């Protein structure tokens, strides 16, 4: 059944600017290294080709470092990150991506193509950049 809607993919709405950090960095170093504050997250690099990406949200740092009165210079990123994480394909329809986010309680996810992070997408991106297009 054809609806006549233009198909909008994750690639159409994702952010191309994102920060990747090493899990061994301190939270303080990682926060200083952030260039793209609007993303509210950091992607944690794989240790090797058989590893998986991780992710740390600003809210993770707030809950696991700030609220617990831990010193950010003494906490490593790997201690507060989530890993493994759900990633999405850049060619996925944003309606399916939104359903995936809802099913797994996600707010954002790295976009991975050929094993490499090419962007990051959030519910906000899908709604503000995608829904307006429909």
In a domain, 75, yes or no: yes
Q: What is the pLDDT of residue 4?
A: 64
pLDDT digits (tens, 9 = 90+) for 8-45: 999 999 999 999 999 999 999 999 888 877 778 999 99
- Please choose, from the candidates 134, 129, 112, the residue with its C-alpha nearest in 3D space to the C-alpha of residue 52: 112
> What is the pTM for the complete model shown?
0.86
Number of independent structural domains in the chain = 1
pLDDT in tens, 98-128: 999 999 999 999 999 999 999 999 999 999 8
CATH code at 50?
3.10.580.10
Domain assignment present for residue 3? The answer is: no
pLDDT classification of 1: cutoffs 50, 70, 90: very low
Confidence of residue 46 (pLDDT cuts 50, 70, 90): very high
22 in any annotated domain: yes
């Amino acid at each position: 059944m054809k609806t006549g809607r233009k198909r909008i993919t994750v690639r159409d709405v994702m952010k191309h600017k994102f920060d990747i950090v090493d899990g061994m960095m301190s939270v303080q170093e990682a926060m200083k290294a952030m260039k793209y504050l609007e993303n509210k997250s950091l992607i944690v690099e794989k240790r090797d080709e058989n590893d998986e990406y991780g992710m740390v949200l600003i809210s993770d740092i707030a809950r696991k470092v700030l609220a617990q009165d831990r010193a950010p210079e003494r906490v490593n990123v790997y201690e507060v990150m989530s890993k493994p994480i759900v990633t999405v394909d850049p060619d996925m329809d944003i309606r399916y991506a939104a359903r995936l986010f809802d099913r797994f309680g996600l707010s954002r996810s790295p976009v991975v193509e050929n094993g490499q992070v090419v962007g990051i997408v959030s519910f906000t991106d899908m709604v503000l950049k995608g829904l307006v297009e429909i």
